[in-house]
Amino acid sequence: MPHSRRYRSSERSSRGSYHERYRSRKHKRRRTRSRSSSSERDRRHRREDSYHVRSRSYDDHSADRRAYDRRYCDSYRRNDYSRERGEAYYDPEYRHSYEYRRSRDREGSYRSCKSSRRKHRRRRRRSRSFSRSSSQRSRQSSRRAKSVEDDDEGHLIYRVGDWLQERYEIISTLGEGTFGRVVQCIDHRRGGARVALKIIKNVEKYKEAARLEINVLEKINEKDPENKNLCVRMFDWFDYHGHMCISFELLGLSTFDFLKDNNYLPYPIHQVRHMAYQVCQAVKFLHDNKLTHTDLKPENILFVNSDYELTYNLEKKRDERSVKSTAIRVVDFGSATFDHEHHSTIVSTRHYRAPEVILELGWSQPCDVWSIGCIIFEYYVGFTLFQTHDNREHLAMMERILGPIPSRMIRKTRKQKYFYHGRLDWDENTSAGRYVRENCKPLRRYLTSEAEDHHRLFDLIESMLEYEPSKRITLAEALKHPFFDMLEMEPSTKMWDSSRDISR
């Protein structure tokens, strides 16, 4: 749905005020004419459309809204694109200085000129006003003259070419989430480097989450000043008229967006190995510093550079992409939680949510390990392991893929409504039961090869998808798993240069 557009009442004037300006000095009348024309141009520019991306939320949905194959139903993941009308925002701080300079220039010229030369100079100024550079200055001053505005959802209204903090020049929109928008900017204080600027909605709960994220990012910068641990680097942050803004290094596509653009073609196993190793290393760094990410998913793992090679598959008659470098960064620390902080009851996006979170048994760092297991599986097969939006169905899928839920967890949980006589209350003869039976199978049956390397991968995934958090593998142990033994011999590691400055 397009947002409702707001127009400044100051741009519209009454008939009486128009005649008063008409009777005033001619140079003042010209300034009014110039403003009205730039106002008209602004209204035309406001019709520009912008794409935005909706990320998956934590909210659960009814079991009726169930998709049967995410590879052919992008809206199931709620990551589809839609069009939205954009508007410009304006910075009021330039208005007075601009008008004061214009009035002084004109006043000086009128005083210094003789009456016989006034008409000649006026004609010269009028002709110059139609030059390209003059019209650009007029449009720029008109944009700056108006106040900062938000749309009905709290998003900052901006337009390509606008500046923030006299430093960040907006050049494109990268994406949108429930928190706000991410735009690509030129940072004029860093030699024109390209950065990603996260602009948070002017809504208190999102602003508070942004403050918490800034706190986490500052701790990460403090603990890892050389950015060796593959977490996204924050350069700067500021409050812009109620919008918290965070400046990051500019990265490539997310691992999910690349998968989606590649028709959900799975990553080759050597790329899965390298990406999995980096994710484990980055999240282990967080765990070592008493942090839990809580929202790990392919959307929050970005390639440093998502350039790819294109090959044609004769058998399937389609182009297939292969990313050139599998160097990644972990992003989005808005939900990251320190051990000493309050732990929300529900965390993680549904498809990557650990059983202890669903059963409200309390969670800590092992819930991240479960999410990583789901992510690695998705890289390997190209689709989500647990494709559901319902708790009971989610637990049924777990039992179908991983075996029965331990009786100790069933006895301990407060969510007894999901169980009956110590077993999951689930009827396989219903439509939901048939869906789970037809679309889920034991984990090892998802193997695409009987090669030892593939079995090692699934051994790692199984150890990450252990029901009991206390028995689940730690990331320190995972990094030593035999699946990663071949990492040093594979060419993908040569492209992994975590110290490279990727801001551009």
Q: What is the pLDDT of residue 133?
A: 46
Q: How confident is the model at residue 118 (pLDDT cuts 50, 70, 90)?
A: low
Quote the tokens at residue 377: 């599986």
Which residues have CB under 8 Å from 43's CB, separation 6+?
7
The identity of residue 494, as a single letter, is: K
Least confident of 71-75, 278-282, 484-488: 71-75
CA distance 468 to 120: 88
**Hey, which residues does 372 pair with through a beta bridge?**
none
CA distance 202 to 46: 21
The SS3 of residue 47 is coil
CA distance 322 to 263: 12
Q: What is the pLDDT of residue 178?
A: 87
Q: What is the pLDDT of residue 35?
A: 44
Give the angle 159-166-155 at the CA atoms, nearest 5°. 40
Contact 244, 204 (CB under 8 A): no
Q: What number of residues does the chain have? A: 504
Mean pLDDT, residues 204-222:
95
CA distance 280 to 250: 22
Q: What is the pLDDT of residue 121?
A: 55
Cα separations (Å) of 13 from 6, 154, 335?
Answer: 16, 28, 48
Instruction: State yes or no: pLDDT of 157 exceeds 90.
Output: yes
Alpha helices in 364-447 (DSSP H): 366-381, 391-402, 407-412, 431-439
CA distance 352 to 372: 8
CA distance 458 to 464: 10
Mean pLDDT, residues 243-269:
96
Is there a binding annotation on residue 324? no
Contact 465, 373 (CB under 8 A): yes
Mean pLDDT, residues 246-261:
97
Give the angle 23-27-29 at the CA atoms, nearest 5°. 45
Least confident of 51-60, 209-218, 269-278, 327-336: 51-60
Annotated catalytic residues are 295
Give the angle 93-98-104 at the CA atoms, nearest 5°. 140
The residue that leads in pLDDT, 379 or 71, is 379
Contact 296, 283 (CB under 8 A): yes
Give the angle 92-96-101 at the CA atoms, nearest 5°. 135
Report how far apart the first and last C-alpha atoms of the chain are (Å, whole number).
34
Give the distance, in angstroms, between the CA of residue 300 and the centroid of all CA atoms in the same chain: 8
Q: What is the pLDDT of residue 152?
A: 87
Mean pLDDT, residues 68-94:
38
The residue that leads in pLDDT, 112 or 164, is 164
Q: How confident is the model at residue 106 (pLDDT cuts 50, 70, 90)?
A: very low
CA distance 50 to 473: 44
Quote the tokens at residue 149: 């505005």
Q: What is the pLDDT of residue 117?
A: 56
